[in-house]
Structure 1
């Protein structure tokens, strides 16, 4: 059971759904939804306490005669020529000003009736009764008028006769599409006086069977006879209860909104259970890493980090040899010590080969397929339109170029080794100079100065041997340290580069899909609210 005040909420939900979904909905369904939203808001603004009851039926069903019987006055003029009703006629029994409502209904023939007139057996107060043209009229304009008012009436009384009640057009074109409107429909079996009692029961049972097949399980079925008055009071009582509840208009409008909401919800489900979150992008990022040349950059970082450490820890007299070969990162137009945002705009990485590019493109398509599994085709196409792979290679190259690959300075221990290496060089040079002085003194046969001894060796010799040994030892330690530093910095650079590539993947691929899925979920929730599912869940 719907809350009496939920119609506006459901209409707003349907309106929001149409705005959010945009071109992703079937154009015919979207147009029908927009028409229903406009119809609901227009109807609620026009005499909301008045119930508009329309008599609908085929040629010869006796609508005009039943109209007069219900109105308690000869307002309509039944005839023998077909079609007998060429334009809608209104019998008005309400205290509200309904001129604007009838203008909206485009009903020009209006007859005011005394409300609750027991002598005339007129309509109960709060009703506008419409006699409509035949839906099977040979005049196209008459059929169009009838169908337009079928959509705008609050309560539909289908007047059926024993000859045409099972007509396929009636059920397939009119009753079946209104399967959710049983609460605002009545099946009036007119001309019941022409049938024997047994035939009348069989007719009523057959009409109920057909109504169930049309999805109208709970629709009231009332045998009537406009000629004898049989069943007219019962039908009038049904209309009176509808007028007293003053809910027929809201029920009809709610059913229209629910019909569109249910249709959209079914279309949005796509026939499959759709994930609520986007799938992990690990494989996508890995494929884009290869397309961006990340493995090449990581290897260059390893060699550049080791080269820098060796330049600080190697034996100083031989360091110049290591500077002959250029820095591996600079060869790629990458600055080893640059911070994020200060690096070069582009790299000199060779473009990815066709195989790698194909793998990256397949990874993007595969991830999109996984992310959009079960979505309706229109939403899948919208996702693919939002994810543009053009320029993706340039964005990846810029991301690599702007990533910090190495710290600005060598590690502290390398700087410490550098100081010790220079200390060893000083010791070596000092020892050589000392030995040179001693050799010169001996050559000139000058008195030889006293030379101290450090352990088993003279001091200058100890300085030379110690300086060479220290340099060799520190160089070996530096080589091992350079290898370890290269591994550490390459692993660190790999993490940073993967994060940079992941940001590109997020902006260019993941975010558009996430936005589209969020839009789809929002539309699905709005559709369910419009259909009434949200109301039932809240209750």
Structure 2
């Protein structure tokens, strides 16, 4: 898809903004430099800037003089003479552009064809400043003409250090084989074919290769025509930016890896490990025990209810009562529990980031790596803030009231029997108590109250245990949800955010590298 250049620049800037702290520093810097340069270049005059680049002795300065039709650059046969870039200007109003390029030496030919040709210092200069200046300008110009000579065109250093890295800029590159006048016809053809082979090995198959002799003028007209055509179409600057965007966007896409991801990862093992570290099993058992204790206090046989009050409330002991808030008194997670929790966190991150580049996996691990103290505090706060079930079923009150009725019955029966026994001891005559079948009513009241009270207490205890287990399951579900929220805040959400950044950065980089290639 052929996207507007400004959209691609913005996309590369967006990709760097999203993923800048994960991408290699050199890639981030290079992308930022291209974005800044694009903004500057698109505001400058739409002239075409051509650079003559190459190694020492290739004849760049002689070629510049041939293009100018006069001696504008100093030439020496045995040593490099270009220590500072020289601009051959055939463009009106090129001053701001050359100022931006940082080129001071200028020769104005007066013809306003929109072409600026730079003679660069040698790339293999022994003077470091000359070499750095050449590399700087190569990164800024619109069209690059790489000048080689028959003696050093096959130099491995030239191909490995320079030409091989220009595969993404093939549409804004010309290669010139200079000094062909020194070769016979057969040698020229052989040299030309061999250079084409080397360029293909460099990833530059199909790049235009011109045979030129700056000394005799052979081939100079063809080079002039190619440069004039580029200046006339005024697309070289945009083509160069497009090539830079494609290269940098491609590098960002490569750094973001394949679009395939490992998915959200299994959450249950993570929650299980964190729940254990949070003391959820301890709290669940405390909820069950507290439910049984409260039921005994309400439904137990009244004379023995005080015994249940001798045992401390399991929830209050853990600071999980209604009046408690903020933190619990649960024991701190044991080292083994913390180790299992951190192992579960690592397993989740690895599963969620499966297939992602190593840098993004490391970023996800860094984001989802809470310190042990932070993790323990977050889990404790989650447990403390979880409302635990404390419901008292209505049947408790009914049984409790019944127990008092049965106790009263037993007390009345006991008092009646005591009165009868006392009267008999004092030889007093009292009416015979009524009977319930063969059993006197006082005896039935006493024994019935005791037996039914004990039976009610036992049955209530069994039912209360069932209800306590049900409340414990409710508590466990609520506590696991609270722990899952901690897992989401400290682990799953940070990992999802990193993976979302990865996808968005990759998409933006794909936009930056998307453009229609135009072959010269």
Asked if structure 1 preserves the Cα contact closer than 8 Å seen for 2:338 and 2:372, the reply is no
The number of equivalent residue pairs is 514
State the 1:100 CA deviation. Answer: 0.8
1:488-527 aligned at under 5 Å gives the runs 488-527=470-509
| 146-155 or 464-473, larger mean C-alpha shift | 464-473
Q: Deviations over 1:206-246 (max 9, x none)?
A: 12111111111231112223344433333223223322332
Q: Alignment partner of 1:179: what SS?
A: helix
Q: Alignment partner of 1:110: what SS?
A: strand
Q: Does 1:399 align with 2:361?
A: no
Asked if structure 2 preserves the Cα contact closer than 8 Å seen for 1:343 and 1:403, the reply is no
Q: Alignment partner of 1:180: what SS?
A: helix
Q: Structure 2 stretches of 5 or more lacking a match?
A: none
Q: Deviations over 1:5-38 (max 9, x none)?
A: 2x22222222233333344332233222222222
- Which residue of 1 is the match for residue 241 of structure 2? 253
Asked if structure 2 preserves the Cα contact closer than 8 Å seen for 1:179 and 1:214, the reply is yes
Of 295, 303, 308, 1:322 maps to 308
Taking CA–CA contacts closer than 8 Å with sequence separation of 6 or more, which of the two structures ends up with the larger relative contact order?
2
Of 263, 266, 291, 1:280 maps to 266
Q: Does 1:220 align with 2:218?
A: no
Of 98, 103, 106, 1:107 maps to 103
Of 41, 44, 47, 1:43 maps to 41
- Which residue of 2 is the match for residue 15 of structure 1? 13
Q: Alignment partner of 2:371: what SS?
A: coil
- Which residue of 1 is the match for residue 347 of structure 2? 366
1:13-412 aligned at under 5 Å gives the runs 13-47=11-45, 49-80=46-77, 82-95=79-92, 97-115=93-111, 125-269=113-257, 275=261, 277-335=263-321, 338=322, 343-386=324-367, 387-391=369-373, 392-407=375-390, 409-412=391-394
CA distance in 2, matches of 1:33, 1:475: 79
1:452-463 aligned at under 5 Å gives the runs 460=442, 462-463=444-445
State the 1:187 CA deviation. Answer: 1.0
TM-score normalised by L of structure 2: 0.88
Q: Deviations over 1:248-299 (max 9, x none)?
A: 1111122222222222332332xx7763544223222212222222222222
CA distance in 1, matches of 2:118, 2:164: 22
**Residue 363 to residue 67, structure 1, CA distance change in 2 (3 Å):** same
CA distance in 2, matches of 1:28, 1:305: 64
- Which residue of 2 is the match for residue 119 of structure 1? none
- Which residue of 2 is the match for residue 472 of structure 1? 454
Asked if structure 1 preserves the Cα contact closer than 8 Å seen for 2:261 and 2:356, the reply is no
State the 1:91 CA deviation. Answer: 2.2
**Residue 144 to residue 346, structure 1, CA distance change in 2 (3 Å):** closer
Asked if structure 1 preserves the Cα contact closer than 8 Å seen for 2:57 and 2:78, the reply is no
**Residue 189 to residue 353, structure 1, CA distance change in 2 (3 Å):** closer
Q: Deviations over 1:54-112 (max 9, x none)?
A: 122233323233323333454334443522333322222234x2101101112223233
